[in-house]
Chain A
Amino acid sequence: MTLLKIDNLQASVGEKPILKGLSLTINPGEIHAIMGPNGAGKSTTGYVLGGRPGYTVTGGSVEFMGQDLMELEPHERAALGLFLGFQYPVEIPGVSFVQFLREAANAQRKGRGEEPYSGGEFLKLAKEKAGLLKMDMDMLKRPVNVGFSGGEKKRAEMVQMGILDPKLAILDETDSGLDIDALRICGEGINSIMRAPDKAVLLITHYQRLLDYVKPDFVHVLAGGRIVKSGGPELALELEEQGYEAVA
């Protein structure tokens, strides 16, 4: 079964059309990368799929796990197995990561008719996923993203992804703001959490470097709100060498 099927998607931010007929199909087990110049609509794609208020779908359709994704609220999309990794994770003073993630995970489980995690079960799970991203558990007891460096925020996003265990992860510039070591740790984290026959990843990125660690099956070039070229992993290398203008 197809995991995600985007068909001729058009979307605006305010009055401004950004996506102008985006089509993309993702099957379980696949890793896709969307690359493209600034202003192409990369982040908009992530936000529209995540259901961020302020982004209006003006045409086309999106099906996820056999359901009309655009009909669902953000939390319902999450419960269905969608995870959006933020380019700029939001700081929320006063709310601890552990409390928030346990509530979020249990809200998702409730939505799927599963038993909630007990405190002990959840802490064990959080510790395991934090370890995967080489993150100290103490950091997860702190308020959400407050005082975290850019790299720590991105690693914390990956820890959240590990805990929430989605079917499809859309990762918006997870590589931006990362030093070389953090890039490797995040890349390995994505592989160990999301490389599975029933899961898929959509990487949104400017650069080839993350793709050295997370090898994509398909690479797409987004320009002017549409996918203008698709290919295999070699397309990313070609883009890196020659630039978007020459290739797309």
Chain B
Amino acid sequence: MNVELTLPTRKDEDFRYADIEALGTVWPVLREEIVIAAGREESSQVIELGEGAVVRHLDIRLEKGAKFDLRVLTAGPGYGRIAVDVTLAEGADFTLGAAQLATGKEMLELVTKVRHAGENATSSQIVRTVLAGYSTGTYLGCIAVDRGADGTDAEQSVRAMLLDRTATANARPELEIYADDVKAAHGCAVGELDDEGLFYLMSRGLPPAQAKKLMLQAFIAEAFAGAPEEEALDTAALERLAKLVEAGL
């Protein structure tokens, strides 16, 4: 286990939006090391539904040809920070599907560093954030492609939905590319629920909260699509979405 003893400050780019005070209550944070052996295929999930401060740091190494499917649901903590460092060897494949759901003054962040160290590795990150009240949701995502890691295919799809004008979304996708033959697609958007869609659903008889919940369910669906535990993730997320929608009305 790897431990960084000094509490970071907001000058540290990775902690720019962090709640340092809350962070201090759980610091130092142990790094959880995960190694997927060559050719192996595994999956895991991080589900944080509790209150208070939750900070986790995953250090993942994918050996040659390994596959790893990680899903993250943070919905509940006052301060929740999930950091994921991933290194991919040749031909490895990494999938991240994450949803952050916050209300009140909650502050959630997801910080990823995906490093393509070998040739022909693929990575995909889908991050959906729903924010109500005065909450803040942050995604800091760096994709690094080493020299010689040709044939890399890296994807980032990051979207945040603000249910109230008082909520804040931060998103900083980053690319550091040192190889020539690389496919790196990233999209990032912050928006609000479509009024026209809501009216359409309501005109068919759905009460406003139910119409919003249905649209939000669709919004985050992609993050958990195809996960081994898709149903459990969806159920937990839906329960939280209902709370977010009610709080915001």
Chain A residues with a Cβ under 8 A of chain B: 50-53, 73-75, 77-79, 84, 86, 89-95, 99-101, 103-105, 107-108, 111, 143-144, 160, 164
Known interface pairs A79-B205, A95-B218, A101-B204; A74-B210 also in contact (CB < 8 Å): no
Q: Are B201 and A104 in contact (CB under 8 A)?
A: yes
Q: Are A100 and B199 in contact (CB under 8 A)?
A: no
Which 5 pairs show the lowest CB-CB distances between chains A and B? A94-B218, A78-B205, A108-B205, A104-B204, A90-B200
Q: How far is the CB of B210 from chain A (nearest CB, A)?
A: 6
Q: Are A78 and B204 in contact (CB under 8 A)?
A: yes
Chain B residues with a Cβ under 8 A of chain A: 194-197, 199-208, 210-211, 214-215, 217-219, 221-222
Q: Within the complex, which residue of A75, A89, A91, A94 is in contact with B206, where a contact is CB–CB below 8 Å?
A: A75
Q: Are A104 and B206 in contact (CB under 8 A)?
A: yes
B200 / chain A contacts, CB cutoff of 8 Å: 86, 89-90, 92, 144
Chain B residue at minimal CB-CB distance from A99 = B214
Q: Are A95 and B205 in contact (CB under 8 A)?
A: no
B197 / chain A contacts, CB cutoff of 8 Å: 90-92
Question: Can you list 5 pairs linking A and B with CB atoms under 8 Å apart?
Answer: A86-B203, A92-B200, A92-B218, A94-B222, A164-B205
Known interface pairs A53-B195, A89-B200; A95-B208 also in contact (CB < 8 Å): no
B217 / chain A contacts, CB cutoff of 8 Å: 94-95
Other A-B pairs beyond A52-B199, A90-B194, A111-B205, 16, CB < 8 Å: A50-B203, A53-B195, A73-B207, A74-B203, A75-B203, A75-B206, A75-B207, A78-B203, A86-B200, A90-B197, A90-B200, A92-B201, A95-B217, A101-B204, A103-B214, A104-B206
Q: Are A164 and B204 in contact (CB under 8 A)?
A: yes
Q: How far is the CB of B233 from chain A (nearest CB, A)?
A: 15
Give A92 to B208 CA distance when docked, in angstroms.
15
Chain B residue at minimal CB-CB distance from A86 = B200
Q: Are B221 and A94 in contact (CB under 8 A)?
A: yes
A160 / chain B contacts, CB cutoff of 8 Å: 204
Give A100 to B200 CA distance when docked, in angstroms.
11
Q: How far is the CB of B154 from chain A (nearest CB, A)?
A: 24
Chain A residue at minimal CB-CB distance from B214 = A95
A91 / chain B contacts, CB cutoff of 8 Å: 197
A95 / chain B contacts, CB cutoff of 8 Å: 201, 214-215, 217-218
Give A49 to B195 CA distance when docked, in angstroms.
17
